[in-house]
Structure 1
Amino acid sequence: MVTEAPAKDAKTAQILEAARDIFLELGYAATSMDLVAQRARVSKTTLYTRFPSKDDLYTATISNECERHGMRFSPECFDDLPLREVLIRVGTRFVELIWSEAAIRVHQSVMGEAQRVPEAARLFVKAGPEQGTAVLVALFERLTQRGLIAVDDPAFAARQFLAAMQGGPYCLMAVSLAPSPTAEERSAFVAKAVDLFIRGVAPGR
């Protein structure tokens, strides 16, 4: 189920920005609510009113990054577009998210802490990959209803699409062995991946 992101007031946005920087700097385990309140320049009462626990703050921070890159959308918002354009737009948003410096650093932090602090990995998966997949599954179900794709399992197709977008230089970037691609390289990668994917899901194939 896809959940709508809560509305953010100025204080909430301030807290999320500070939390993002601290989680990136220190990781989940070393981040404290006191430090976030201090860095965000808010009282602990203000912080805990909006985020009752560090777990809540961490998942909200991850979800906020996904939202900021356009990965919290309603599938109906693409109803006026042809299939290729829908997939290009969604693929571009997803690539811009996972290839961003912040996302790469979060991924590295989570992997580094996974054995010692498995809760951090669980929260990351819940707020990021699971929610992102749910959004894509809803989109692929909509595309199936519109007759733009012909698949027996929209959920499987959606996950394969996300997997395709995690190809290319991403694996090397995740271990700091490749620089971030240029905007032109990103666009070319998404277009090629989408065109290859469409051959497998288009009706009448």
Structure 2
Amino acid sequence: MEAAKVIFLSEGYAAASMDRISEQAGVSKMTVYRHFKDKEALFIETINQQCDGIYQFGSHEPAASRDEAISELKSYGAAFINLVTAPDVLGIYQTLLGEMLRFPDLGRMFFDIVIAKSIESIRHILSGIFPPEQADWRAPAFMHLVMGDSYQRLSLGKLTRAECLERSAEEIDRAARLIVCNIDD
């Protein structure tokens, strides 16, 4: 897995080969194929491994009050942005974006692996104070606010990770308050 990450980050998905990955790992190509049916499966597992932390902090309970929801969303958002701004995770994300025109299934799988699971965790937090139809639209709105301006600037090289994390703290606080505020449909 470490070898795959190194090759995907340095060469991109399209240029990476199972030969190069097996060479980097110091194993035969057959050994790699025994574990992964193809390069796509290996790339998806690399994404899974890099984003594993998302699944670890997704066990929040439904909030019992608006204040609790704000607190839980802020906690979730901070943990999420800390994880997705880590250099290896950001690098895999940037690799994925660069390869999506040639391999559109990669983007769909990334959404299902990372974004959809995160939205479901947020929806679960909100389910304690909002009816399902409201939690359903508020959860992705929060997710997209968290991955908004500062994260986009980091992804495009306009901010350092430290600057992104500093700016994101305020953005997450505002996003949590906005999402939990009382808005009629």
Give TM-score, length-normalised by structure 1.
Answer: 0.73
Aligned twin of 1:194: 176
Aligned twin of 1:84: 70
Contact 1:141 1:154 survives alignment (8 Å): yes
Contact 1:37 1:44 survives alignment (8 Å): yes
Cα displacement string for residues 16-39 of structure 1 (whole angstroms, at most 9, x for unaligned residues)? 111111101000011111111111
- State how far apart, in whole Å, the 1-side matches of 2:180 and 2:134 are: 15
When the two chains are superposed, the root-mean-square deviation of aligned CA atoms in Å is 2.8
Aligned twin of 1:173: 154
Q: Secondary structure in 1 aligned to 2:181?
A: helix
Aligned twin of 1:96: 82
Q: Which stretches of structure 1, 4 residues or more, deviate above 6 A after TM superposition?
A: none
Q: How far is 1:62 from its partner?
A: 0.8
CA gap of 1:107–1:184, structure 2 versus 1, over 3 A, is closer
Query: What code does the residue aligned with 1:36 have?
Result: I
Contact 2:74 2:176 survives alignment (8 Å): yes
Contact 1:165 1:193 survives alignment (8 Å): yes
Q: Secondary structure in 2 aligned to 1:177?
A: coil
How many residue pairs align between the two structures? 180
Aligned twin of 2:20: 35
Aligned twin of 1:7: none
- State how far apart, in whole Å, the 1-side matches of 2:114 and 2:167 are: 23
Contact 1:97 1:103 survives alignment (8 Å): yes
Q: Secondary structure in 2 aligned to 1:169?
A: helix
Aligned twin of 1:163: 144
Of residues 114, 136, 139 in structure 2, which corresponds to 1:132? 114
Query: Is structure 2 residue 135 aligned with structure 1 residue 154?
Result: yes
**Unaligned residue ranges in structure 2 (runs of 5+):** none
- State how far apart, in whole Å, the 2-side matches of 1:159 and 1:123 are: 20
- State how far apart, in whole Å, the 1-side matches of 2:98 and 2:62 are: 43
Q: How far is 1:41 from its partner?
A: 2.0
After TM superposition, the structure 1 stretch with the greater mean CA deviation from structure 2, 159-168 or 93-102, is 93-102
Query: Is structure 2 residue 128 aligned with structure 1 residue 143?
Result: no
